[in-house]
């Protein structure tokens, strides 16, 4: 039996260009027609644009993406983010629905399409950039997907040809209770369900939002977004990988390369918020293992909590140790002193056990041992608030993370009282902040309360500028500012930033 090979193009229809001549043939550029507001960015653009458009479009999209990232750093809820982003999107990258009947519909979509692909070029070079780009593009896609016109969204989805099996009536009846329980939908509500391999909706599985049966996930229509978004991310990741591989072979003169390089540089990593200049604080002589107890009153709550737990139990678990070690490294504690500090703190432990099980990890955090990359990078950077607020919650027996987030309100208040915060009104507002998940706001509030007098003073005599008193987003900034404020008039006023910029 002769089978027809579908992947082959009908010879009559094939472009008849000798492969040797093909590179000289005129490429056929085509103006794309954008039917939908949303775009999976599968086909790259092929029409011509000016160099100026190339740059401004890219910069505009970059602006949108960095604002999105800022939202996630500030822990804004999805609703808050959507509200905040509306004006920004309208300004830089308006994208209207078909129903708006706007004249510039195609123009807007073209800009969206092109700018996406330009940034794809700029951000495919390293793994780090790729991951960030894909994360932010996913956020943007999700945002737009949510506020898309219902009917148009449906058309867009049906256009995607995702292979979803619909759940039949009999099956729906059979699992009615379970389906309702899994998705939190009231039983009476009529719902359509899809059945897919669970691997395609890992997000929903992780949050236990779908019913699982023998490897199949039953996804309610409502959660379709998750599927569409996951598919978007998956395709984008794959495409970025391919772009990265093609990048070195980019046949390019020197017009685009500098723009691309510039674009990716201005997308600096937020983890750089800590700079080594933080370690040198004017007037603070190098801390030693002995001075940590005294200094600990300047520590932010997350670190004070670790310190107190350590003193109480003479032990800390892995992630707590790591978080605290990096913080101590950040305030300028040397490796030797740090090892010394831990050795003395683990009072109940034999020397042998300490040497065997703990010393290596401390040295690794300082970049004293480990692979080449670790040592060249001098170990890990101290954790930022962002990092502490987004990592998984601590398990039983663990005490790392941000107490504003991990403690119940009652325990949090008790902890604050132990550190000497007794102001009733303050504790009440802290409770409110925490219940709205504004953890860093609560932390900054406590800081401002504890340093009320000093802050007023530096403000009054104008020795500190407003940026010196900007919101604290890093435990090490907290320490540095606290220490400087409490040691005013010792020849270091106005040195909060010590020459180097410390944030972003």
State which residue, 356 or 378, has the beta carbon closest to other proteins.
356
8 Cβ neighbours under 8 A, 6+ residues apart: none
State which residue, 38 or 136, has the beta carbon closest to other proteins.
136
Structure tokens at 56: 């401004």
Q: Is the CB of residue 67 less than 8 Å from the CB of residue 87?
A: no
For residue 343, state whether it binds other proteins (rule: CB under 8 A).
no
Identify each DSSP E strand in 187-293 by its residue range.
193-197, 211-213, 216-220
Sign of CA dihedral 219, 225, 231, 237: negative
Report how far apart, in Å, the C-alpha atoms of 189 and of each of 40, 152, 208, 220 are.
31, 24, 20, 11
Report how far apart, in Å, the C-alpha atoms of 197 and of each of 213, 227, 320 are.
10, 11, 37
402 annotated ligand binder: yes
State which residue, 144 or 364, has the beta carbon closest to other proteins.
364
Q: Among 134-142, 292-300, 393-401, 420-428, which window interacts with other proteins (CB under 8 A)?
A: 393-401
62 Cβ neighbours under 8 A, 6+ residues apart: 119, 263, 266, 267
Site size toward other proteins, by CB under 8 A: 61
For residue 51, state whether it binds other proteins (rule: CB under 8 A).
no
For residue 410, state whether it binds other proteins (rule: CB under 8 A).
yes
State which residue, 391 or 470, has the beta carbon closest to other proteins.
391
- Match 């939002």 to its residue by tokens: 209
State which residue, 283 or 371, has the beta carbon closest to other proteins.
371
Structure tokens at 135: 């994360």
Q: How far apart are CA 303 and CA 296, in angstroms?
A: 8
Shortest CB 173 distance to other proteins, Å: 16
Shortest CB 138 distance to other proteins, Å: 13
338 annotated ligand binder: no
Q: Among 30-38, 195-203, 284-292, 451-459, which window interacts with other proteins (CB under 8 A)?
A: 195-203
For residue 213, state whether it binds other proteins (rule: CB under 8 A).
yes
- Interface with other proteins (CB under 8 A), residue from 398, 429, 437, 463: 398
- Match 């500012």 to its residue by tokens: 481
Q: Among 27-35, 149-157, 369-377, 462-470, which window interacts with other proteins (CB under 8 A)?
A: 369-377
For residue 475, state whether it binds other proteins (rule: CB under 8 A).
no
- Interface with other proteins (CB under 8 A), residue from 82, 125, 212, 495: 212
Long-range CB contacts for residues 230-236, cutoff 8 Å, separation at least 24: 230/200, 230/201, 230/202, 230/203, 231/160, 231/162, 231/200, 232/40, 232/138, 232/141, 233/134, 233/138, 235/40, 235/42, 236/41, 236/134, 236/137, 236/138
71 annotated ligand binder: no
Binding to other proteins (CB under 8 A): which residues in 289-328? 317-319, 322
- Interface with other proteins (CB under 8 A), residue from 314, 397, 456, 500: 397
Among residues 226, 201, 206, 132, the alpha carbon closest in space to that of 392 is found at 206
Report how far apart, in Å, the C-alpha atoms of 175 and of each of 208, 211, 439 are.
16, 9, 41
Q: Among 71-79, 153-161, 334-342, 350-358, which window interacts with other proteins (CB under 8 A)?
A: 350-358
Rg (CA), the chain: 28
For residue 375, state whether it binds other proteins (rule: CB under 8 A).
yes
Helix, strand or coil, per DSSP, at residue 184:
coil
Shortest CB 410 distance to other proteins, Å: 7
Residue numbers of the site for other proteins (CB under 8 A)?
2-5, 178, 180-182, 184, 198-199, 202-203, 205-208, 211-216, 317-319, 322, 353, 355-357, 359-361, 364, 369-375, 380, 387, 393-401, 403, 406-408, 410-412, 415
Give binding residues for [4Fe-4S] cluster as ranges: 302, 385, 402, 443
């Amino acid at each position: 039996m002769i089978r027809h090979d579908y992947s082959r193009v009908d010879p009559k229809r094939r472009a008849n260009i000798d492969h040797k001549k093909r590179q000289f043939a005129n490429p056929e550029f085509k103006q794309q027609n954008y039917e939908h507001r949303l775009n999976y960015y599968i086909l790259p653009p092929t029409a011509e644009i000016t160099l100026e458009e190339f740059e401004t479009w890219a910069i505009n999209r970059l602006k949108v993406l960095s604002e999105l990232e800022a939202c996630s750093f500030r822990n804004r809820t999805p609703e808050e983010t959507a509200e905040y982003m509306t004006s920004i999107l309208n300004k830089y990258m308006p994208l209207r629905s078909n129903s708006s009947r706007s004249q510039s519909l195609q123009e807007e979509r073209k800009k969206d399409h092109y700018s996406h692909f330009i940034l794809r070029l700029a951000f495919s070079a390293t793994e780090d950039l790729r991951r960030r780009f894909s994360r932010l593009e996913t956020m943007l896609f999700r945002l737009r997907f949510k506020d898309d016109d219902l009917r148009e969204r449906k058309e867009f989805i049906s256009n995607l040809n995702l292979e979803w099996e619909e759940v039949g009536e009999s099956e729906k009846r059979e699992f009615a209770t379970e389906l309702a329980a899994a998705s939190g939908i009231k039983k009476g509500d009529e719902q359509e369900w899809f059945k897919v391999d669970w691997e395609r909706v890992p997000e929903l599985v992780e949050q236990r939002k779908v019913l699982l049966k023998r490897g199949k996930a039953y996804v309610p229509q409502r959660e379709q977004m998750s599927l569409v978004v996951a598919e978007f991310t998956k395709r984008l990741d794959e495409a970025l990988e391919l772009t990265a591989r093609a990048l070195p072979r980019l046949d390019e003169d020197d017009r685009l390369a500098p723009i691309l390089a510039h674009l990716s540089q201005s997308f600096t990593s937020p983890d750089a918020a800590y700079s080594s200049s933080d370690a040198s604080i004017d007037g603070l002589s190098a801390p030693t293992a002995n001075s940590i107890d005294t200094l600990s009153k300047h520590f932010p709550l997350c670190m004070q909590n670790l310190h107190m737990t350590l003193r109480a139990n003479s032990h800390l678990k892995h992630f707590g140790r790591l978080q605290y070690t990096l913080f101590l490294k950040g305030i300028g504690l040397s490796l030797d002193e740090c090892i010394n500090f831990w050795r003395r703190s683990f009072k109940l432990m034999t020397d042998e056990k300490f040497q065997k099980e703990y010393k290596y990890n401390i040295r690794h955090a300082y970049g004293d041992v480990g692979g080449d990359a670790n040592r060249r990078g001098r170990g890990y950077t101290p954790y930022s608030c962002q990092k502490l607020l987004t990592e998984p919650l601590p398990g039983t027996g663990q005490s790392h993370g941000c107490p504003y987030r991990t403690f119940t309100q009652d325990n949090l208040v008790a902890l604050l009282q132990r550190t000497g915060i007794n102001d009733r009104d303050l504790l009440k507002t802290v409770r409110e902040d925490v219940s709205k998940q504004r953890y860093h706001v609560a932390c900054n509030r406590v800081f401002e309360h504890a340093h009320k007098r000093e802050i007023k003073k530096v403000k009054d005599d104008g020795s500190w500028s407003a940026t010196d008193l900007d919101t604290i987003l890093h435990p090490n900034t907290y320490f540095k500012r606290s220490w400087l404020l409490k040691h005013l008039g010792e020849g270091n006023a106005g040195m909060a930033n010590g020459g180097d910029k410390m944030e972003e």
